[in-house]
Amino acid sequence: MRARLTTAVLLFTSSFAAAAHAEVLPAADAQPPHAEAPPTASPPPPSPLPPAAPTTAKATITVETAAPSFSSGAPSVAAPSPVAPSPSAPIVDRATSPSSSESLAEQRLLTGFRLGYLYVFEHQKKIEALGGDSLADRTAMRSPHQFLIGYEAFYRMLGNSNMNVLLVSNVMVSGLEQSRFYPSANGLIGFEFRNSFQVGVGVNLAPLKGSQAHTIIAAGWTPRSGNFYVPLHAFFVPDVDGVHRAGVTTGVTF
């Protein structure tokens, strides 16, 4: 009886130990459950692109460069090849262009303003033609030195390339610097050589009783400057009583 009881106790103990061992092994071998990854947010939809701005075509210059060479041990890069500049449009000087020169030289009627200087000889001399008065007394002239201003026109009768015939007329005023007004008019006929040098003779008229008309002689040079002339002339008005007048004028003729 005691032997059976002992055997039963041993069987119960061994079965309990086996059950405990079977419960421990799965716990040791079990792997922890994987944590679920949090749901990722979906990327936002792409925003619509703005409309492309209109582009202007531009000329581009492509510069070709050589690849670096390592044959000598040190890298070397070839310099960019020079780009030849585009040829610019030639600048044409209207003043020296053949068409401008020919048109100016072939114009028949030319006009322009005149400025100048006048000197009166013996302006205080008593003369019989003025009733025994001097020119200074008759016209209240304060000085024989006078400023000239006026307007001139001349007409060309074209000849050959060396000579033209000229008809010249002008109206001049002097004495303004003395608060005086001395008008005169001139008409000349003469010659023009190579469109630059002129000489002429004609009549000088002034509204002065006893000295209304005189002869005038003039000569000068008219160089061209662009599309106009810049004349430089000298003149002489002889007088039988010695009250001569002489002066120079310049200006612009177009």
Average pLDDT over residues 108-114: 96
pLDDT in tens, 4-28: 555 555 555 555 555 545 444 444 4
Q: What is the pLDDT of residue 161?
A: 79
Which residues have CB under 8 Å from 46's CB, separation 6+?
none
Q: What is the pLDDT of residue 95?
A: 45
Q: How many helices (H) and strands (E) does the chain have?
A: 3, 10
| C-alpha 32, offset from chain centre | 89
Please check the confidence at residue 214 and state whether its pLDDT lies above 50.
Answer: yes
Please check the confidence at residue 89 and state whether its pLDDT lies above 70.
Answer: no
- Cα dihedral across residues 108, 164, 150, 210: positive or negative: negative
Bridge partners for 237 per DSSP: 245
Alpha-carbon torsion angle 129, 135, 138, 141, nearest 10: 170
Q: What is the pLDDT of residue 160?
A: 84
CB distance 184 to 205 below 8 Å: yes
Q: Which amino acid is at 176?
A: L
Closest CA to 195 of 101, 119, 127: 101
Q: Which domains does the chain have, with CATH numbers?
A: 98-253 (2.40.160)
Rounded Cα distance between 180 and 246, Å, is 19
What 8-state DSSP symbol labels residue 45?
P
| C-alpha 1, offset from chain centre | 139
pTM higher than the cut 0.75? no
Percent of the chain with pLDDT over 70: 60
Closest CA to 148 of 174, 180, 114, 182: 174
Length of the chain: 254
**Long-range contacts for 95-99 (Cβ within 8 Å, ≥24 apart)?**
95/225, 95/226, 95/227
